[in-house]
Structure 1
């Protein structure tokens, strides 16, 4: 099969999605998991990405602070934005790296809650299916990783999206081998059907909040920057269906960027271990609310009317806070809140 270059591939996907072209397998609904909110109809969770290094690069220090914040907020679960195990994912579902980088690191009592994860590009460099294996749940019952799925808590629906197959460069990279066994038949069919399934789920959602989670950034001023395939293929779908937040990792930093065409906010939490790249692009853009080139994590607290988003560094210090009003469709940062006071 002849390869499509990046621009041609994007245009082909858009054309196929709009007009239903191609000999694709039948689309199916995304798997849906339920997670009930608290009795007061609130929900809170932590977000961590790019972390699995057997405790190195301050991974253990970040984990310690997560345990403290998790207890304070009485979190319901943890979201992992991918690149769960470095450098090349897991070799199998018996790989000791699973316990050495996960079970033995995130030991705080408050973190003994479900961990909902997506795959990152580094995870695809190993046995990608290993992280999806039910056997891992026998080792550590917290772990749940699927390619694309929905966590439904009534208050919020979280749409987990497998973004790695969107990236054309990974299919032509001479540097690394990727595990495309469930994707490369051909990849355009996989992506087109994923977008159809996601569109159907978003249109049918009646949740108060809609959150999308992927590994790669739509908007970022970090090392990797914007992901053009997601800007072209995924962003219009999220905007049209009034998604509140798109959360990702990939860039080893913490970021908060506002969408210029909708109320959606881009939240990056990819600082679970190795960070401090020292490069940043166009930091003074008006849509950039916050950028931190270092290790840390994020928390999200949701009620029927408000979202409280907080970014923490490796020492647990609050770096940035933003309040989002569902009724007003507005975001107020810590600095704006202080100016009001």
Structure 2
């Protein structure tokens, strides 16, 4: 009886430890990074996604225009919406793709600022732990990539969300691809706890502007279209908590779509390199303000009352401008 009891207690303890570790990895408090505004209280940054191809597919040309526009706007940082390294992420911390696709491409003086990055589905096909490793920051101090985190300023709160684990097909129908799910353990627990964190952060936020960044689109008329899991699970939280902008990549294009049920503006910037897929989901055009199938990027300028978001092509031409006054949205 005593032996059985000891074994039972040991098993219970192991289960508790395993559950605790799982909870730790899926529900740890999101890390916050403070980023000051300019002396006039404003904030400006560039948004780029789906870029890491060692300069190919016009990546270098987009980088050049980013440097030019970044200098003109005196940007504070850069946001990467994921799929940072193609085709299959990084193989390890010493993978030359990091320098060949990042450090040696974005060389302009104006781009020597902090880069805040999320993971995309292509990044999950490689060594995720390597891409998240602090050792990469020793190679290039601009690099900061975490699964989910928060960037705070006096003006805006930007919540970066790890969207890849929400997509069920990556777990059930990988199409021959291998994904690195270390640190996820349970998709159900991971996504449920992440949504709780997102809701908590947004509810408590007192920022003038609330911005959420993820890799996958909630709304898109591009090649991949809407991400149904995000529409069902994430979107209601954003709508209920007065989020101003949801920014993403994944579709290799530039888009602006207005939510029909809230003030949220869906902004796709996933045109950092390979683009021109040549297809558009015509049945999904509700709220569509702008769509461009080629390469480019996006700039964001924020003040206490106004936001100006501009989409640029690979030549630096302005394709579309969204000017928003707080509580009053208008597209130009």
TM-score (norm 2): 0.91
1:39, distance to aligned residue in structure 2 (A): 0.6
In the alignment, is the contact (CA less than 8 A) between 1:165 and 1:187 conserved in 2? yes
For residues 236-280 of structure 1, what are the alpha-carbon distances to aligned partners after superposition, in whole Å with 9 as ceiling and x for unaligned?
A: 001111100000000000000000000000000000000000000
Secondary structure of the structure 1 residue equivalent to 2:312: strand
Deviation at 1:283, TM superposition (A): 7.4
Deviation string for 1:54-95 (max 9, x for gaps)?
A: 000000000000000000000000000000000000001111
**Other structure's SS at 2:230 match:** helix
Query: Which residue is 1:180 aligned to?
Result: 181
What is the total number of aligned residue pairs between the two structures?
310
**Structure-2 residue corresponding to 1:160:** 160
Asked if 1:276 is matched to 2:271, the reply is: no
Pairs within 5 Å for 1:249-268: 249-268=249-268
Match of 1:29 in 2: 29
Residue pairs, 1:114-263, within 5 angstroms: 114-172=114-172, 173-183=174-184, 185-263=185-263
Q: Which residue of 2 aligns with 1:333?
A: 331
**C-alpha distance in structure 1 between counterparts of 2:278 and 2:241, whole Å:** 35
Q: After TM superposition, give the deviation of residue 174 of structure 1 in Å.
A: 3.8
Q: Is the 8 A contact 2:221 2:284 kept in 1?
A: no
Cα distance in 2, alignment partners of residues 109 and 116 from structure 1: 17
Aligned-residue offset at 1:213: 0.1
51-60 or 190-199, which moves further after superposition? Answer: 190-199
Give the C-alpha shift of residue 330 in structure 1: 2.7
Displacement of 1:284 after TM fit? 8.3
Once residues 130 and 177 of structure 1 are traced to their aligned partners in structure 2, the CA distance between those partners, rounded to angstroms, is: 16
For the residues of structure 2 that align with 1:126 and 1:25, how far apart are their CA atoms? 24
1:7-26 correspondence to structure 2 within 5 Å: 25=23
**Runs (5+) with no aligned partner, structure 2:** 1-18
Q: Pairwise mapping of residues 282-301 of structure 1 onto structure 2 (< 5 A)?
A: 282=282, 285-301=285-301
- Over 6 Å off, 4+ runs: none
CA contact (8 A) 2:221 2:285 kept: no
Partner residue of 2:14?
A: none
1:315 Cα offset (Å): 0.2
Aligned to 1:291, what secondary structure does the other structure show?
Answer: strand
Task: Tell me if structure 1 keeps the 8 A contact 2:48–2:298.
Answer: yes
- The corresponding residue for 2:109 is 109
Give 3-state SS (helix, strand or coil) of 2:23's partner: coil
- In 1, distance between residues paired with 2:44 and 2:283? 29
CA distance in structure 2 between the partners assigned to 1:274 and 1:181 by the alignment: 28
Distance 2:86 2:286 in 1: 34
The aligned runs of 1:71-82 (5 Å cut-off) are 71-82=71-82
Which structure has the larger Rg over C-alpha atoms? Answer: 2
Structure 1 residue 282, shift from structure 2 partner: 1.8
CA distance in structure 2 between the partners assigned to 1:164 and 1:83 by the alignment: 10
Preserved contact between residue 163 and residue 215 of structure 1 (Cα < 8 Å) = yes
Which consecutive unaligned segments of at least 5 residues does structure 1 have? 1-21, 335-341
- CA RMSD between the two structures: 1.3
